[in-house]
Amino acid sequence: MKDSENIPAMMQELGQRAKAAAAELGFAPAAQRQQALEAAADAVWANRAEIIAANAKDLEFGRGKGLSDAMMDRLMLDEARIQGIVDGLRNVAGQDDPVGEVLAEWDRPSGLNIRRVRTPLGVIGVIYESRPNVTADAGALCLKSGNAVILRGGSESFHSSGMIHSCLVEGLKAAGLPEAAIQLVPTRDRAAVQELLTMTDYVDVIVPRGGKGLVGLVQREARVPVFAHLEGIVHIYVDKAADPQKALYVVLNAKTRRTGICGAAECLLIHREIAEGLGADLIRALVEAGVEVHAGAGLQLDGTLAATDADWGKEFLDSIIAAKVVEDVDGAIAHIRAYSSSHTDCVLTEDDAVADRFFERLDSAILMRNASTQFADGGEFGMGAEIGIATGKMHARGPVGAAQLTSFKYLVVGDGTTRP
C-alpha cells in the first residue's frame, strides 16, 4: 500500500506508470495478453481462499456500515462466484484480439494504399461500486484491448478487489507484461477519484460503472473524456397492432426476469385503443406476477397504485413498473424523448410502418422490436464480456466490449509517391 497522505502525488505516479505501460502494451503481441489473462484466471482460482478471507473483511466492514441486504449480496464472494470470475477471465482471454485488426483497406488513384487499423485507446480509468468482480472484468477487457487501466473500486470491496487485483498482476508478470498495465488505486480516500477524473495528461477516458450518483459525479467533475453510462430508463410501447401473446411474454420477461439490471423495463406505454383489452391483460398479468404497477388513467385496475408524475423517467430497479396510455406511436415517441435515458427502448407491434417510425424517430443506443429489453447486454449481442452499456453518442455506444475500448490509426504506403 502506498502513502495515501499525498493523494495527488500518488495518483500522478499511477498515471505515469500507466502511460508507460500503455506504450508497451500498444505493441505487445495478442498471445502475450491472452497468456496474462489465462495466468490471472489460474491465480484467482489458486487464491480463492485468500480472496474469500479478504471478502470476509469487506463484509464485516459493510455490516458495520449498515449496508442493505442487496448491497451485501453484491459484495459477497463465494467459491461459485469466484468460479464465475475465473470463467469471465478465460472467456475474455479466448475472444478475438481486437488490436491490429484491419478495419478497412483501399487503394487510391494516387497509388497510395491506405489501411485503417485498430489501436488501443491508451489509459482507461474505471470507477465502479460495490461488486468486486468488476475488478477482474474491467481489468481483463482493458488488457484485451491493449489498454492500461487504473481501477478504482468501491470502498466496500476494498480488500476483495485488492486480492483479485494481485491475481491479475500475477498474470501480467507470468506473461512478461508490465505490472502497471492493471493498477488498482490503493486507497479508499475519495480525493483519489477527484484526481483520476482530471488527470488529462495520463488518462484517455473514464468509464464510470455504477448508479446515478456515481455517474452524475463523474460527468460533472471529469476533465478527461467519459463514456457515459446513464441509468436504464427502459420503455416498452405496446402498439394497437401488437400480438397479444408475444406482448405478454415480452413484457413479463422484460420486467420480471431480473429487476436489478439496467435492461429491465421500467415503463409500459399502451396504445389508447387497446388499453381496455390487451393493456388490461398485461397489467393484470404483471400484478399477478407480483409486480407493483404504478398505473396512469385508464389502467388503474385492482391491485395497482395510481401513478404520479414522479413515476415517469424513473429507474425503479425493482419489481415496480409505471404504465401509461398514449395516443399512438407518436405519443409513445414523445414520451420516450422526454423521459428516456437513451439506453434501450422497445416497440411491440406487427405493423412494419409503426416499427420503422419508432426506429427512425428515436435515438436510444438500443431500439428493439418484439424482443425483451433484458437482451440489452454485450454477451447477448455476441460481443463477449462488456464493461457496461454506454448511453452517450461519442465513441462507444451500447454494450462496451473490448472492441469499443479501441481507436484506430491510418497506415499509408506509397512508393516515393508525391502529391501534385
Which residue in the block uniquely carries the three cell numbers 500518488?
Answer: 10
End-to-end CA distance of the chain: 60
Q: Residue 145 or residue 166: which is nearer to a copy of itself going by CB? A: 145
Q: Which residues bind a copy of itself (CB under 8 A)?
A: 23, 26-27, 106, 108, 110, 112, 114, 119, 121-122, 204-205, 225, 243, 245-247, 249-250, 252-254, 257, 337, 355, 359-361, 363-372, 374-375, 380-382, 393-395, 397-398, 407-419
Q: Shortest Cβ distance from residue 302 to a copy of itself (Å)?
A: 26
CB of 39 to a copy of itself, least distance (A): 24
* DSSP SS3 for 234: strand
**Cβ 152 vs Cβ 185: under 8 Å:** yes
Cβ at position 271, least distance to a copy of itself in Å: 17
Which of 79, 105 has the CB closer to a copy of itself? 105
CB nearer a copy of itself, residue 189 or residue 221: 221
* Strand positions, DSSP E, 46-138: 102-107, 113-120, 123-128
CA-nearest of 41, 28, 19, 17 to 145 is: 28
State in angstroms the smallest separation of the CB of 380 from a copy of itself. 7
Cβ-in-10-Å burial (0-12, 13-18, 19+) of 407 comes to: middle
Nearer to a copy of itself, 168 or 226 (CB): 226
- By beta-carbon proximity to a copy of itself, the closer residue of 154 and 399 is 399
d(C-alpha 383, C-alpha 364), whole Å:
19
Smallest gap, in angstroms, from Cβ of residue 99 to a copy of itself? 10
Closest separation in Å from C-beta 58 to a copy of itself: 31
Q: Which three cell numbers stand for residue 7?
A: 493523494
CB 122, min distance to a copy of itself, A: 7
Q: How far is the CB of 155 from a copy of itself (least distance, A)?
A: 28
Return the number of the residue (64 or 290) whose C-beta is nearest a copy of itself.
Answer: 290
Give the CA diameter of the chain. 80
Nearer to a copy of itself, 60 or 356 (CB): 356
Number of neighbours of residue 362 by Cβ within 10 angstroms: 18
Residue 359 C-alpha cell reads as 426506429
Is 239 in contact with 348 (CB distance < 8 Å)? Answer: yes
R_g of the chain, CA atoms, integer Å: 24
CB 390 within 8 A of CB 400: yes
Min dist CB 154 to a copy of itself, Å, is 26
Q: Which residue's CB is nearer to a copy of itself, number 88 or number 399?
A: 399
* Pick 63 or 409: Cβ nearer a copy of itself: 409
Instruction: Report whether 361 contacts 250 (CB < 8 A).
Output: no
Rounded CA separation 27/38 (Å): 19
Q: How far is the C-alpha of 95 from the C-alpha of 51, rounded, in Å? A: 26
